[in-house]
């Protein structure tokens, strides 16, 4: 990590020593917001941002994201989690409380196409992607120079379906070594095993180069061209054991027409892929995403 990025992270951490985030999902009923507000008030916490959503006020699921400022949060955190258990039990909640001070550690997986990786690195260098990119792993050497030029460790691990188990064993060891919080598949053109996915639930963000559910799997631009589509797109989603079927985080599109050949579709599509993936990663590191079944609520 270069000194500028290190300084940016340290400044961010210093500014957010006492900033916290609370994510909640539970059956909807009266009194949820009141109970949480009173709980935070008991710690002298000030709510900075609050967003909520209910699938149905009568018998639906309630979702809430609160960002708050709390003096002495580091010292209070464990007691808050312990005391919050009473509210959790009363409302049957799934929940997390995190300190914004904790900058999430990311591993990026990439193959030969580098446009999504380069976009993330640019956002990271500019301070607009507040994560700690601690390692890049690839089944090709194409990204080594640019990655190592930023003082990020780069690992070349050949991967294909014949040696998937061996490759993933090395990758999982690296994720443990670098204490990774989440993984970004920035056009990493390999299918991950069930074991790998199960060890990282809702922690693997993929970019797929089509507007899902259209053109799942390989060669979507070629298939889109053959079908004569008028719109192409990209989809970022959490990885599950069903190929390209995980909870969708973000999508975008661009219009095309009969004059656009496959190369044109790819060129247009790369711009969409870059922006869609960058937004998804930002929302993930800002704790703006709640996964419910096979959907996401993005605040």
Distance from C-alpha of 252 to C-alpha of 257, rounded to nearest angstrom: 17
Point out the catalytic residue in the list 28, 132, 244, 287. 244
Strand order in the sheet with 19-27: 46-54, 61-69, 19-27, 94-99
| Structure-block tokens of residue 57 | 């006020």
Answer yes or no: are the C-beta atoms of 238 and 291 closer than 8 Å: yes
Q: Judge whether 257 counts as a catalytic residue.
A: no
Alpha-carbon distance 30 to 14, whole Å? 37
Bridge partners (DSSP) of residue 298 are 289
Q: Beta 289-292 vs 295-298: how paired, if at all?
A: antiparallel
Active site residues: 244
């Amino acid at each position: 990590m270069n000194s500028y990025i290190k300084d940016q992270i340290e400044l961010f951490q210093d500014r957010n020593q006492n900033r916290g985030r609370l994510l909640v999902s539970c059956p909807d009923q009266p009194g949820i917001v009141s109970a949480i507000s009173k709980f935070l008030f008991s710690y002298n916490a000030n709510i900075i941002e609050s967003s909520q959503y209910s699938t149905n006020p009568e018998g639906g699921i309630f979702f809430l994201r609160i960002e708050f400022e709390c003096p002495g949060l580091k010292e209070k955190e464990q007691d808050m989690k312990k005391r919050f258990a009473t509210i959790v039990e009363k409302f049957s909640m799934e929940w997390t409380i995190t300190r914004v001070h904790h900058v999430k550690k990311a591993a990026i997986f990439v193959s030969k196409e580098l446009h999504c990786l380069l976009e993330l690195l640019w956002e990271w260098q500019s301070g607009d992607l507040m994560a700690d990119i601690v390692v890049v792993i690839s089944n090709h050497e194409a990204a080594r120079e640019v990655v190592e030029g930023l003082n990020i460790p780069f690992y070349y691990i050949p991967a294909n379906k014949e040696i998937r188990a061996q490759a993933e064993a090395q990758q999982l060891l690296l994720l443990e070594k670098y204490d990774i919080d989440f993984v970004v598949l920035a056009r990493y053109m390999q299918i991950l095993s069930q074991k790998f996915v199960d060890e990282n639930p809702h922690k693997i963000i993929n970019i797929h180069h089509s507007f899902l559910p259209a053109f799942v799997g390989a060669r979507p631009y070629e298939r889109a061209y053959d079908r004569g589509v008028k719109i192409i797109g990209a989809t970022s989603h959490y990885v599950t054991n069903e190929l390209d079927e995980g909870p969708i985080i973000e999508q975008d599109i661009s219009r095309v027409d009969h004059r656009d050949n496959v190369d044109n579709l790819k060129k247009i599509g790369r711009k969409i892929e870059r922006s869609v993936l960058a937004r998804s990663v930002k929302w993930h590191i800002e704790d703006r995403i709640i996964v419910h079944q096979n959907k996401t609520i993005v605040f």
